[in-house]
């Protein structure tokens, strides 16, 4: 093997405990490498910028591995980049900052912002981002115990179209302001099944709450659509609601987890650092909460299996 090119990158802020922040396209036709733009060193901060397009902490470099040249620079976030992921065809790039509240999807190599999703209102470390095989779904796991699945529908320009009848409305949001309603990561109350008549009452309360939430999101979207034309783009992005299409809650908390989507079945697969592998069923039509199908223990000799 012969060295062909050397790329200067930003040091990994979390040392050797985590892999480098980089994404490589698996496609031979669209072979690109995405990595955070190197920021100026402390010694060079006193010097004036050489141009108006100097590198910022949230910039992403798209590098062509065929021509060994920079194909584009994406101003992805205002905060430092924490995770990058490229789809199977090398045409889409998903990005997240160290705040972890907003996930953005860009075209490759054009660097057009196609989708913008809100993971939650509370900041969180992003552990994994993965497209499904046909790039219609995007799964995101974080330091919180909820895994979010976003639906990539039709798009025109930089806007996101509402797709499916899942748990939320797709839109655009900024890094620092949440939507009118908080996402599931910030919801602390959940309805649990109980015995006797309490189970029926609990379900009725849950249905009423879900109905009110959907109506609230619908009214909020209509309101923001009406006034959006009178506001700057940055303010419009912060006002518009954006929610996940489907989600799942992990039975354990505090573990680092990686999520992936099955290429042939409506399944979400999660593996955690505490030694468990989970498979969840996702309703591709309605979305909502995914149901746990199986749970395997990978560390102990007695594997745990839940059907």
Average pLDDT over residues 48-75: 80
Q: For residues 55 and 248, what is the distance between their CA atoms, to the nearest angstrom?
A: 37
2 lies in some domain: no
List the CATH number of the domain containing 158.
Answer: 2.40.128.630
The predicted model scores a pTM of 0.70
Q: What is the pLDDT of residue 16?
A: 44
Mean pLDDT of 20-42: 87
Reference 61, options 22, 14, 29; nearest CA is 22
Say how many Å lie between the first and final Cα of the chain, rounded: 48
**Max avg pLDDT among 33-42, 131-140, 238-247:** 131-140
Split at pLDDT 50, 70, 90, the class of 164 is: very low
The answer to the question of residue 175 being in a domain is yes
Q: Is residue 174 part of a domain?
A: yes
The torsion angle over the Cα atoms of residues 110, 66, 260 and 167, rounded to 10 degrees, is 0
The pLDDT score that the predictor gives to residue 147 is 96
Report yes or no on 266 lying in a domain.
Answer: yes
Inside any domain, residue 33: yes
Lowest pLDDT segment from 47-51, 106-110, 137-141, 294-298: 47-51
Buried b (16+ CB within 10 A) or exposed e, 12-22: eeeeeeeeebb
Q: What is the pLDDT averaged over residues 32-54? A: 62
Distances (CA, A) of 87 to 96, 106, 198, 275, 302: 15, 11, 45, 27, 36
Is 162 inside any structural domain?
yes
Rounded distance between C-alpha atoms, residue 290 and residue 185, angstroms: 15
pLDDT of residue 226: 52
Rounded mean pLDDT, 182-188: 42
Distances in whole angstroms, Cα of residue 191 to Cα of each of 151, 199, 207, 290: 25, 9, 10, 15
In a domain, 46, yes or no: no
Structural domain span for residue 27: 17-39+54-297
Q: How many domains does the chain have?
A: 1
Please give the mean pLDDT across all residues of the chain: 75
Is residue 194 situated within a structural domain? yes
- Alpha-carbon dihedral 7, 13, 15, 19, rounded to 10 degrees: -60
Exposed / middle / buried, residue 168 (Cβ in 10 Å: 0-12, 13-18, 19+): buried
């Amino acid at each position: 093997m012969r060295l062909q090119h050397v790329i200067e990158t930003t040091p990994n802020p979390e040392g050797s405990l985590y892999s480098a922040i980089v994404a490589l396209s698996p496609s031979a036709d669209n072979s690109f490498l995405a990595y955070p733009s190197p920021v100026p060193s402390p010694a060079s901060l006193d010097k004036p910028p050489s141009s108006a397009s100097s590198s910022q902490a949230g910039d992403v470099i798209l590098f062509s591995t065929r021509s060994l040249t920079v194909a584009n620079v994406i101003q992805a976030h205002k905060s430092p980049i924490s995770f990058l992921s490229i789809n199977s065809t090398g045409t889409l790039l998903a990005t997240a900052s160290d705040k972890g509240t907003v996930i953005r999807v860009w075209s490759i190599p054009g660097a057009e912002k196609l989708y913008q999703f809100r993971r939650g209102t509370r900041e969180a470390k992003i552990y994994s981002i993965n497209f499904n095989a046909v790039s219609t779904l995007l799964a995101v796991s974080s330091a919180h115990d909820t895994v979010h699945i976003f639906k990539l529908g039709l798009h025109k320009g930089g806007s996101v179209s509402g797709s499916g009848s899942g748990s939320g409305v797709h839109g655009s949001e900024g890094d620092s302001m949440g939507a009118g309603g908080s996402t599931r990561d910030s919801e602390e109350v959940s309805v649990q099944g109980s015995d006797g008549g309490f189970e029926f009452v609990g379900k009725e309360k849950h249905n009423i709450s879900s109905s009110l939430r959907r109506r609230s999101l619908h009214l909020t979207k209509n309101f923001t659509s009406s006034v959006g034309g009178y506001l700057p783009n940055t303010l419009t992005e912060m006002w518009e609601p954006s929610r996940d299409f489907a989600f799942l809650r992990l039975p354990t908390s505090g573990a680092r987890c990686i999520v992936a989507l099955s290429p042939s079945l409506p399944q979400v697969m999660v593996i955690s650092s505490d030694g468990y592998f989970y498979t969840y069923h996702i309703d591709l039509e309605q979305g909502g909460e995914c149901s746990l199908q199986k749970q395997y223990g990978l560390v102990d000799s007695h594997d745990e299996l839940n059907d």
